[in-house]
C-alpha cells in the first residue's frame, strides 16, 4: 500500500520519507507520533506537508488513538503553509471508516495497482480550482455537519 501511495505522491512532486523516526526539519514537529509516509513540496508561493496513514484493517478506535493532532508545521514567512492528511485503505474496507474524517483527511481507496477513488477535503479543493465543480460538489461534506448560522435579531416594541 505504501508503495502505491508513494508513487502517486512522488508524481505530484512530493519528496517522501517512509516512517521517519524524527521530524526532518526544525519547522516541522510532532510528539508521540510517526506517520507511515511524510512528504514535503514547495513552489514559489506555498509549502506543503503531507502525512499518510496506511490502514490495511482500518479501526477508528486505533486510528483516533494516534497522536496525529500533535503535528506542527511552520511555513516560511513568504509562503503559505498547508498540511495534507491522507488515509489510505484497501478496497472493500470503507465500511470500517467514519466518513466524518473527510472534513480533515483525504481518503484514498486503493485497488490492485493504485488509487481507485479519492475523496475528502484536499481533492475537492484541488479539483474545484481546476474547474471540476461536479467532483467538488460530490466530495463536499454533508450540509448537516456545518454549524447553523447565527442570526442577530432586534426586538420591536
Encode pLDDT of 89-101 as tens digits.
999 888 888 888 8
Domain-located, residue 155: no
Confidence of residue 155 (pLDDT cuts 50, 70, 90): low
Range of the domain at 9: 2-145
* SS3 per-residue string spanning 93-148: CHHHCCHHHHHCCEEEEECCCCEEEEEEHHHHHHHHHCCCHHHHHHHCCCHHHCCC
Domain-located, residue 151: no
Task: Return d(Cα 9, Cα 47) in angstroms, integer.
Answer: 15
What is residue 149's three-state secondary structure? coil
Q: How many domains does the chain have?
A: 1
Domain-located, residue 123: yes
Per-residue pLDDT at 80: 84
pLDDT tens per residue, range 129-154:
454 444 444 444 444 444 545 555 55
Instruction: Give, as one character, the DSSP assignment of residue 69.
Output: G
Rounded mean pLDDT of the chain? 76
Report which of residues 125 and 66 the model is more confident about.
66
Domain-located, residue 150: no
Per-residue pLDDT at 140: 45
Q: From the centroid of its chain, how far is CA 100?
A: 12
Amino acid at each position: 500500500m505504501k508503495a502505491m501511495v508513494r508513487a502517486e505522491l512522488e508524481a505530484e512532486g512530493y519528496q517522501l520519507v517512509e516512517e521517519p523516526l524524527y521530524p526532518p526539519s526544525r519547522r516541522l514537529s510532532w510528539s508521540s507520533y510517526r506517520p507511515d509516509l511524510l512528504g514535503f513540496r514547495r513552489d514559489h508561493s506555498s509549502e506543503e506537508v503531507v502525512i499518510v496513514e496506511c490502514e490495511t484493517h482500518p479501526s477508528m478506535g486505533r486510528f483516533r488513538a494516534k497522536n496525529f493532532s500533535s503535528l506542527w508545521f511552520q511555513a516560511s514567512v513568504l509562503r503559505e503553509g498547508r498540511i495534507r492528511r491522507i488515509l489510505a485503505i484497501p478496497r472493500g474496507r470503507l465500511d470500517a471508516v467514519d466518513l466524518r474524517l473527510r472534513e480533515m483527511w483525504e481518503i484514498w481507496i486503493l485497488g490492485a495497482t493504485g488509487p481507485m477513488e479519492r475523496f475528502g477535503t484536499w481533492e475537492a479543493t484541488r479539483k474545484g480550482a481546476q474547474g471540476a465543480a461536479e467532483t467538488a460538489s460530490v466530495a463536499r461534506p454533508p450540509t448537516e455537519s456545518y454549524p447553523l448560522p447565527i442570526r442577530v435579531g432586534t426586538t420591536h416594541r
